[in-house]
A and B are shown apart, each in its own frame.
Chain A
Amino acid sequence: AQSVTQLGSHVSVSEGALVLLRCNYSSSVPPYLFWYVQYPNQGLQLLLKYTTGATLVKGINGFEAEFKKSETSFHLTKPSAHMSDAAEYFCAVSERDSSYKLIFGSGTRLLVRP
């Protein structure tokens, strides 16, 4: 069965520092890949997704992610963290033939220090 691994339940960075949140998936067939963000007491918001085409995907709020098939990874980055980026981030995948069904990682809480 498809699975998603997010390395690090908590990541802490200083404001202005690089943000790197790691995500690896298990499928041998590249799935669709997503990053969602959840702010406190709010629902999930799509940051970006990869379905086909260019492997470097740009999303909202200055985030981007790169699909690397050889590493089965889809790590999320942002060059300079802002205090407002503090939230929980979820990586998710879906199979191409049942793409309505998201399989989520366990989430990474991003803390931004002033």
Chain B
Amino acid sequence: GAGVSQSPSNKVTEKGKDVELRCDPISGHTALYWYRQSLGQGLEFLIYFQGNSAPDKSGLPSDRFSAERTGGSVSTLTIQRTQQEDSAVYLCASSPWGGQRRNTIYFGEGSWLTVV
């Protein structure tokens, strides 16, 4: 498809387990974003990748969270030792380049994570 693709769409995991969430951005988009949508915190910025620049990780809530982007395309968000408060929808987005003045960010449908 032409949009941002995320997998899995739904994930139920036990507390303490590690999870990996995958994002395939729109082909040719150099900028990639992760956001989290939860009942308690609303929509929060997590991390931003732009080309070969160092990512902005300022939104990651703890050191249990990490993300990488391989080859400037696919990204994986990893949550280690999951906690119940990690339950949320994790949204990935991409855009042709960074910044938003002449640019539009396209969001995927999200990965629903439930920690039990």
A32–B100 contact, CB under 8 A?
Answer: yes
Residue B88 lies at the interface, judged by CB distance under 8 Å to chain A: no
Minimum CB–CB distance for B104 against chain A, Å: 6
B4, B42, B99, B102: the one within 8 Å of A100 (CB): B99
Q: Which chain A residues numbered 73 to 109 have a C-beta less than 8 Å away from chain B? A: 90, 92, 94, 98-107
B100–A51 contact, CB under 8 A?
Answer: yes
Minimum CB–CB distance for A35 against chain B, Å: 13
Residue A45 lies at the interface, judged by CB distance under 8 Å to chain B: yes
Residue A42 lies at the interface, judged by CB distance under 8 Å to chain B: yes
Q: Which chain A residues numbered 8 to 56 have a C-beta less than 8 Å away from chain B? A: 32, 34, 36, 41-46, 49, 51-52
How long is the Cα–Cα vector from A5 to B53 in the complex, in angstroms? 32
A43–B56 contact, CB under 8 A?
Answer: no
Residues of B within 8 Å of A98, CB to CB, are: 56
How long is the Cα–Cα vector from A61 to B33 in the complex, in angstroms? 26
Residues of A within 8 Å of B43, CB to CB, are: 90, 92, 102, 104, 107
How long is the Cα–Cα vector from A26 to B42 in the complex, in angstroms? 18
B99–A99 contact, CB under 8 A?
Answer: yes
Minimum CB–CB distance for B89 against chain A, Å: 9
Given A44-B91, A51-B101, A100-B56, 13 other A-B contacts at CB below 8 A? A32-B100, A43-B109, A51-B102, A90-B43, A94-B100, A98-B56, A100-B95, A100-B100, A101-B58, A102-B43, A102-B100, A104-B42, A104-B43
Interface residues of A (CB under 8 A from B): 32, 34, 36, 41-46, 49, 51-52, 90, 92, 94, 98-107
A–B Cβ pairs within 8 angstroms, 24 of them:
A32-B101, A42-B109, A43-B4, A43-B108, A43-B110, A44-B93, A51-B101, A51-B102, A90-B43, A92-B43, A100-B48, A100-B50, A100-B98, A100-B100, A101-B45, A101-B56, A101-B58, A101-B59, A102-B35, A102-B45, A102-B100, A104-B42, A104-B44, A105-B42
